[in-house]
Amino acid sequence: MARKPRALPKSSVSRTALQLGRAVAWPDSPEKAKLDRVPNPQKGTNYVARFTAPEFTALCPVTGQPDFAHLVIDYAPGPWLLESKSLKLYLASFRNHGAFHEDCTVAIGKRIAAAVKPKWLRIGGYWYPRGGIPIDVFWQTGTAPKGVWIPDQDVASYRGRG
């Protein structure tokens, strides 16, 4: 038997304000994308949540050609959780956005940190080679809470065909 979904606390954002559960237009730029947050029902517990986006794309700001990355976002939630549909829409908004690998990775980390105010956040951007050089970019906010298990990001370094 299907369980009834848990209602959001009355003090939280209303469901109508969220992108979750309704049709929304794809944002055409990261600036226009909205990141939603919901209350963390385990806010008194230190733990890590992970989002993985293995097919992230952005455009080279010089050539306009696509760049591809495998993003891994780990965060120790504070009072808020990052709502995954809004993250998906935000990340998709980079598909027509021109920015260097470093800028994309760090900007995503900073935007998420500003939206959900985590106890700690790190992002690893594992970019596929263009011009024969892969660029991996890492950014984090401070140090992780003591005693929290932080798993490796487990993204293999680029090794070419050998």
Active site residues: 60, 67
User: Cα(119)–Cα(160) distance, rounded to whole angstroms?
Assistant: 37
User: Cα(91)–Cα(56) distance, rounded to whole angstroms?
Assistant: 7
Closest CA to 80 of 115, 55, 30, 104: 115
* CB-CB contact of 125 with 137 (8 Å): yes
> What is the b/e burial string over 82-105, where b = at least 16 CB atoms within 10 angstroms of the residue's CB?
bbeebbebbbbbbeebbbbbeebb
